[in-house]
Amino acid sequence: MTIYLAREASKVWRKVCAETTTELPLLREKWPLLLAGIVFQYIHGLAARGVHYLHRPGPLLQDLGFMALPELGQDKNYLSECTFVFIFFSFFLWTFHPFIYHSKRFYTILIWRRVLAFLVASQVLRIITFYSTQLPGPNYHCREGSNMATLPPPNNVLEVLLINFPRGVNLGCGDLIFSSHMIFTLVFVRTYHKYGSKRFIKLLAWVMAIVQSLLIIAARKHYTVDVVVAWYGW
């Protein structure tokens, strides 16, 4: 048994080394685009933080999804985040599977370049949209009476640039149309649908995207329109 495990570990190590040798030239060529995509994630977070200063709480808008789906409540609204984290890390690990498995349908560097390009394009549109019209946030901490619904003017530029990470990212208000979680989810699902090989996992991925949509609405993190726009946009 020990000999078998050692032999298999040796095979995996050789595969990792071979794949690393293949991917490194691509990384040297494409790293500026990858870095730009990663940096833009911070810019997107900065924009979301900025719109929080403009947010003004108000009565919840009439929403068909809110009528159809009961509220999860503050004690259960973590379910949508858990679903998103599962989708995110599942996709992240899958993009590196060519380093271990022999079945290969893409290069990891190239697929992340494409994913980041789609994310940046979506986030640019999202920033333009949520700055164009600020809606009263439906999330619990964005409602009237919450001391987090409106941010006081910043004391200095550094306070804005640090975006109160990670609390400021999770407790933002005003960045509604359209859902950032659904941008990531749909880009990941569509990417797997195109490059993945398991039909069952493709079906499961779409089911997870639908479940994620419903949980976001049930958790009152977004209005239904925020989720719908993300779907028909991609």
> What residues are labeled active site?
181, 222, 226
Task: Indicate the burial class of 35 (C-beta count within 10 angstroms; 0-12, 13-18, 19 or more).
Answer: exposed
Rg (CA), the chain: 21
What residue type is 36 in one-letter code? A
Measuring CA to CA, which residue among 43, 26, 24 is closest to residue 113?
26
Gap between the Cα atoms of 124 and 147, Å rounded:
29
Tell me which DSSP letter residue 142 carries: G
CB atoms closer than 10 angstroms to residue 78: 13
Burial class (CB in 10 A: 0-12, 13-18, 19+), 119: buried
- Residue 211: strand, helix, or coil: helix
